[in-house]
Amino acid sequence: MISEAETSATTPLLRVKALKASYDESIILRGIDMAVRPNSVVALLGRNGVGKTSLLRSIMGLMPKTEGEITFEGKSIASLRSDQRARLGLGYVPQGRDIFPNLTVQENLEVSMSISGEAGRERLEEVYELFPVVKDMLTRKGGVLSGGQQQQLAIGRAILTNPKLLILDEPTEGIQPSIIDQIEDAIHLLKKQGNLSIILVEQYLDFAKSASDEFYILDRGSVVLTGESEELTSEVIGQHLTV
Ligand SMILES: Nc1ncnc2c1ncn2[C@@H]1O[C@H](COP(=O)(O)OP(=O)(O)O)[C@@H](O)[C@H]1O
Ligand SMILES: [Mg+2]
């Protein structure tokens, strides 16, 4: 089961090879190999502090020090700045809230659309359909929305950059149950549309399993297990993911 994810002949959308990353003296990622196929969802799992967020930050060019290979659509992106990676089609919703609290919801959306131009603007209706509350709140300041509403706005903003790869770091963390359902439904819908890939870090394992095609489990900065998501049994979960 611990195998290269590259089973088909197609080039992965994203490939990470022998990726190492550190903060100052502490080594956080110890040689990660990962592949994300086009139009697929990868669940990135692991207990707290194992390096999931650091891996996503490395992919986005936000870690202070990284080594190894990162390719996107077959080309190396390791030397690109994070804004350059975003323009290539990597959409990142960091853990916590990533919105401008002092801008209105509308202005928050405008900032994203200014990055992607027409292609992003064409997805505005889709964002309103996925998250009606975003449309209802257009004139409010981002900062007055509830945590769940801010998360919906953050995901909406990422969609408006028209990404090829959407990277979601614990999108349901700390959010009330009714809104968790809406966010889960939205991710299922995005998956069903099938025109982008998603990396999903998620603690709700039933949802992570149902939403993803493949999974990677990290422990202390290494991939300890990868496979098809249907192989995510309670045994696997018990061994690697429960505290
Ligand atoms: N800014 C930072 N400076 C130093 N160490 C950090 C920083 N951010 C995270 N770490 C450490 O890196 C390790 C991995 O953290 P993180 O990638 O956030 O894990 P996860 O997302 O899996 O919970 C942890 O030991 C954490 O304490
Ligand atoms: Mg994290």
- Residue ranges near ligand 2 (ion) with Cβ within 5 Å: 52-53, 95
Tell me the backbone φ, ψ of residue 50, rounded to 5 degrees: -85, -15
> What is the mean pLDDT of the segment spanning 205-227?
96
User: Could you tell me how many helices (H) and strands (E) the chain has, helices first?
Assistant: 10, 10
Q: Give ligand 1 pocket residues (Cβ under 6 A).
A: 23, 26, 28, 46, 48-54
- Give pLDDT tens digits for 125-146: 999 999 999 999 999 999 999 9
**What is the percentage of the chain residues whose pLDDT exceeds 90?**
84
Q: Are 130 and 73 in contact (CB under 8 A)?
A: no
179-202 pLDDT, tens digit each: 999 999 999 999 999 889 999 999
Q: Listing from the earlier edge strand, what are the strands of the sheet with 222-228?
A: 90-93, 165-169, 197-201, 41-45, 214-219, 222-228
pLDDT of amino acid 24: 87
What confidence category does residue 8 fall into, taking pLDDT thresholds of 50, 70 and 90?
Answer: very low
* Ligand 2 center to 96 CA (angstroms): 9
Q: What is the pLDDT of residue 9?
A: 59
pLDDT at 216: 98
- For the stretch 153-181, pLDDT in tens is 999 999 999 999 999 999 999 999 989 99
Summarised one tens digit per residue, pLDDT across range 64-79 is 889 999 999 999 999 9
Question: pLDDT band for position 119 (50/70/90)?
Answer: confident
CB of 59 closer than 8 Å to CB of 70: yes
The arrangement of secondary structure in 14-232, i.e. its CATH architecture, is 3-Layer(aba) Sandwich (3.40)
Q: Which of 22, 28, 223 gets mutated to test ligand 1 (max ligand atoms within 8 A of its CB)?
A: 28
Residue written as token pair 């959308």: 13
Angle at 114 between CA 127 and CA 105, to 5 degrees: 50
Within 8 A by CB and 6+ apart from 74, the residues are 11
Mean pLDDT taken over the chain = 93
Break the chain into its structural domains and give their ranges: 14-232
Given a contact cutoff of 8 angstroms between Cβ atoms, the answer to whether 128 and 135 are in contact is yes
In ligand 1, the atom with minimum distance to the C-alpha of 218 is: 22
Residue in the block written with tokens 């192989």:
231
Please determine, for residue 62, whether its predicted confidence score (pLDDT) is greater than 70: yes
Residue 95 has pLDDT above 90, yes or no: yes
From the list 125, 129, 134, 231, the residue with the least C-alpha distance to 189 is 129
- End-to-end alpha carbon distance in the chain: 23
Name the residue of 53, 62, 203, 217 whose CB sits within 8 Å of the most ligand 1 atoms, as the mutation to test its pocket: 53
Residues 59 and 183: their CA atoms lie apart, in Å, by 23
Greater confidence (227 vs 118) lies with 227
10 vs 6 pLDDT, higher one: 10
Residue 194 to residue 207: CA distance in whole angstroms: 18
Confidence at 6, pLDDT banded by 50, 70, 90? very low
* Residue 7, pLDDT score: 46
What is the distance between the alpha carbons of residues 48 and 184, in angstroms, rounded to a whole number? Answer: 21
The residue nearest atom 26 of ligand 1, judged by CA position, is: 49
* DSSP state letters, 188-199: HHHHHH-SSEEE
Burial classification of residue 223, based on how many CB atoms lie within 10 Å of its CB (0-12 exposed, 13-18 middle, 19 or more buried): buried
Q: Average pLDDT in the 218-238 region?
A: 95
